[in-house]
Chain A
């Protein structure tokens, strides 16, 4: 199935990626090529097959670990905020959300 311009804008909104009118047609064209490829899966009969989310859930059947619910990391706030575009007093700055 082919994406309509409205569907493309809906997905772009969900993905928080601006897709301008100038590129809209080209983006939709490429996405439709890929959707044509993945549509081949629709013809497969998978009636009783369980979905496989990751390789450890395959023949290996390994259970993923849970760590104890305790503090394991030291405070790295200052270092971790260094690459941030805008911080102040240990807080990340973003455009005003609430008036």
Chain B
């Protein structure tokens, strides 16, 4: 049951082979057994989860006036601790919010509640989603289920590790510069960052508002599609939410490869990409060719500028967004201070960790008088060049395939002293959100150390169903996505 797909779980619940309470209990026990080692969850509230499971069971048996059951009714889902959950801790991985109980639910949490899913717990993450290794969390690093001395990636490392170790059948995450796709790649699971504006950001703690987008983690592309059906949709409370008709993300799962053009960007197969990663990704691409897809050699010439652009724009937006943490309305407040200004300065010095402070300072600098044009406006101009690279590429191809990350999971502590080395590791996941484009990562094999390799599939705006279809067909012919880490056997 722990390795079952959402479709199989849904059928088991509908066929009364298992109840939601039993299924939830199964996953809670698994979390109980593994979380001490992996640290994937920050908060687990068994009572609350089981109460929701009982409601789901009633809904499944259509007793009383319960809403009709949906595909996901009764299935437990883990949520990144960046989504506000009413009457429950929402820490965002920070000391600043270590005691923050949200007075309201994020739209994503509401949507999963409406679908009848059970909230299994809140997952660990890099502080305020700033990090690529999950080492910046105030609650400690998450361990990679495939090798406990390695990072799971970040910032949604807890969600990725939870799905990889089968502590949750699926989970939510957020992606600003790769925070869904990179941890999915490093832990051997599937993760989708949707087109900007598709998933509501209401109640999702803001990091960089022109980039942040929520999305799902799951064991397969078909499961990601079911998760998207629950997550996506217009929300008037998010000013960047797009008003579009509802989509069925499962509609294209059996995508026809005839005439499908796959762009292979030469900038994604360069020195610096681990040879095993490049080899596995090339093998996957040739599988698509054998099925009738046509590969097109494309170029995304400004790829090398994406990381510098991102480290101007994301910190600039973060410095503005995180100004709300001032010790007045919620969150940590320093105990000793001389006056109001001192209270702000000490509260923020104590409440934020090193990486978050560093990004706020960079953001403040690039927005400050005398530097705004040279850094911030210049970065926004280069951002347009990067978006144009993709627009030109998608005139010649339908999907872009390449590695999600240039490396497999690295050792804990290996990059934490060198911010630039850590940042450059996100070179292949940063471009898509700069252009607002969707991207997903699926496992496509292992390196010589037995660590998972991620294949990234990018598409044009709103191409999620097509991307999921390509991934699903690949997964029907391969079993990488069904492999379970040896250290956390079923």
Of all chain A residues, the one with the shortest Cβ separation from B329 is A84
In the complex, chain B residues whose CB is within 8 Å of the CB of A19? 349, 361
Q: Which listed residue (B209, B326, B461) contacts A59, Cβ 8 A?
A: B461
In the complex, chain A residues whose CB is within 8 Å of the CB of B103? 76, 79-80, 82-83
In the complex, chain A residues whose CB is within 8 Å of the CB of B332? 85
Q: Do B311 and A17 touch across chains, with their CB atoms under 8 A apart?
A: no
Interface 1/0 per residue, B15-30 and A, CB below 8 Å: 0000000000000000
Q: Which listed residue (B104, B209, B240, B381) contacts A49, Cβ 8 A?
A: B381
Q: Do A85 and B361 touch across chains, with their CB atoms under 8 A apart?
A: no
Q: Do B308 and A37 touch across chains, with their CB atoms under 8 A apart?
A: yes
Q: Do A17 and B348 touch across chains, with their CB atoms under 8 A apart?
A: yes
Does B6 touch A at the CB level, under 8 Å? no
Q: Do B348 and A52 touch across chains, with their CB atoms under 8 A apart?
A: no
Does A95 touch B at the CB level, under 8 Å? yes
Q: How far is the CB of B300 from chain A (nearest CB, A)?
A: 15
Which residues of B (191-236) have their CB < 8 Å from a CB of A? Answer: 196-197, 209-210, 236
When A42-B374, A53-B380, A59-B387 are in contact, do A85 and B358 touch as well, CB less than 8 Å?
A: no
Of all chain A residues, the one with the shortest Cβ separation from B333 is A85
Q: Do B387 and A52 touch across chains, with their CB atoms under 8 A apart?
A: yes
Give 3 closest A-B pairs by Cβ, nearest first: A55-B436, A51-B380, A54-B210
Does B287 touch A at the CB level, under 8 Å? no
Does B378 touch A at the CB level, under 8 Å? yes
In the complex, chain A residues whose CB is within 8 Å of the CB of B362? 31, 34-35, 38
Interface residues on B, range: 35 or more
Q: Which listed residue (B240, B360, B380, B433) contacts A15, Cβ 8 A?
A: B360
Q: How far is the CB of B228 from chain A (nearest CB, A)?
A: 18
A97 to B331, CA, bound (A): 21
Which residues of B (315-338) have their CB < 8 Å from a CB of A? Answer: 319, 323, 326-333, 337
Which residues of A (6-54) have their CB < 8 Å from a CB of B? Answer: 8, 11-12, 14-20, 27, 30-31, 33-42, 44, 46, 49-54
Q: Which listed residue (B100, B312, B343, B387) contacts A95, Cβ 8 A?
A: B343
In the complex, chain A residues whose CB is within 8 Å of the CB of B14? none
Does B286 touch A at the CB level, under 8 Å? no
Q: Do B379 and A38 touch across chains, with their CB atoms under 8 A apart?
A: yes
Of all chain B residues, the one with the shortest Cβ separation from A76 is B103
In the complex, chain B residues whose CB is within 8 Å of the CB of A42? 374, 378
Q: Do B436 and A58 touch across chains, with their CB atoms under 8 A apart?
A: yes
Does B66 touch A at the CB level, under 8 Å? no
Interface, chain B (partner A; CB < 8 A): 100-104, 196-197, 209-210, 236, 239-240, 242-243, 305, 307-309, 311-312, 319, 323, 326-333, 337, 339-346, 348-349, 352, 354, 357-358, 360-366, 368, 374-375, 377-385, 387-388, 391, 418-420, 423-424, 433-437, 461
Q: Do A46 and B381 touch across chains, with their CB atoms under 8 A apart?
A: yes
Does A60 touch B at the CB level, under 8 Å? yes
Q: Do A16 and B384 touch across chains, with their CB atoms under 8 A apart?
A: no
23 contacts between A and B (CB under 8 A): A15-B319, A15-B364, A16-B345, A17-B361, A27-B357, A31-B361, A37-B423, A40-B308, A44-B378, A53-B210, A58-B384, A58-B391, A59-B391, A60-B436, A60-B461, A64-B240, A76-B104, A83-B330, A83-B331, A85-B330, A94-B328, A95-B340, A97-B339
Of all chain B residues, the one with the shortest Cβ separation from A12 is B361
Residue count of chain A within 8 Å CB distance of chain B: 55
Q: Do A58 and B435 touch across chains, with their CB atoms under 8 A apart?
A: yes
Q: Do B197 and A56 touch across chains, with their CB atoms under 8 A apart?
A: yes
Q: Do A38 and B312 touch across chains, with their CB atoms under 8 A apart?
A: yes
In the complex, chain B residues whose CB is within 8 Å of the CB of A97? 339-340
Q: Do A52 and B381 touch across chains, with their CB atoms under 8 A apart?
A: yes
A55 to B460, CA, bound (A): 12
Q: Which listed residue (B331, B345, B375, B433) contacts A41, Cβ 8 A?
A: B375
Interface, chain A (partner B; CB < 8 A): 3, 8, 11-12, 14-20, 27, 30-31, 33-42, 44, 46, 49-56, 58-60, 62, 64-65, 67, 76, 79-86, 92, 94-97
In the complex, chain A residues whose CB is within 8 Å of the CB of B209? 54
Q: How far is the CB of B101 from chain A (nearest CB, A)?
A: 6
Q: Do B420 and A36 touch across chains, with their CB atoms under 8 A apart?
A: yes
A41 to B343, CA, bound (A): 36
Q: Which of A17, A81, A82, A95 has the most CB of B within 10 A?
A: A17
In the complex, chain A residues whose CB is within 8 Å of the CB of B196? 54-56
A83 to B96, CA, bound (A): 12
Instruction: Known A-B contacts: A19-B349, A35-B362, A64-B240. Give 7 more (CB < 8 A).
Output: A12-B345, A16-B344, A33-B419, A38-B312, A46-B381, A56-B196, A84-B329
Q: Which listed residue (A50, A58, A64) contacts B239, Cβ 8 A?
A: A64
In the complex, chain A residues whose CB is within 8 Å of the CB of B374? 42
Q: How far is the CB of A9 from chain B (nearest CB, A)?
A: 11
Q: Do B197 and A52 touch across chains, with their CB atoms under 8 A apart?
A: no
In the complex, chain A residues whose CB is within 8 Å of the CB of B461? 59-60
In the complex, chain B residues whose CB is within 8 Å of the CB of A16? 323, 326, 341, 344-345, 348
When A30-B419, A65-B239 are in contact, do A18 and B349 touch as well, CB less than 8 Å?
A: yes
In the complex, chain B residues whose CB is within 8 Å of the CB of A44? 305, 378, 381-382, 385
Q: Which listed residue (A30, A41, A80) contacts B305, Cβ 8 A?
A: A41
In the complex, chain A residues whose CB is within 8 Å of the CB of B423? 34, 37
Q: How far is the CB of A3 from chain B (nearest CB, A)?
A: 8
In the complex, chain A residues whose CB is within 8 Å of the CB of B379? 38, 41
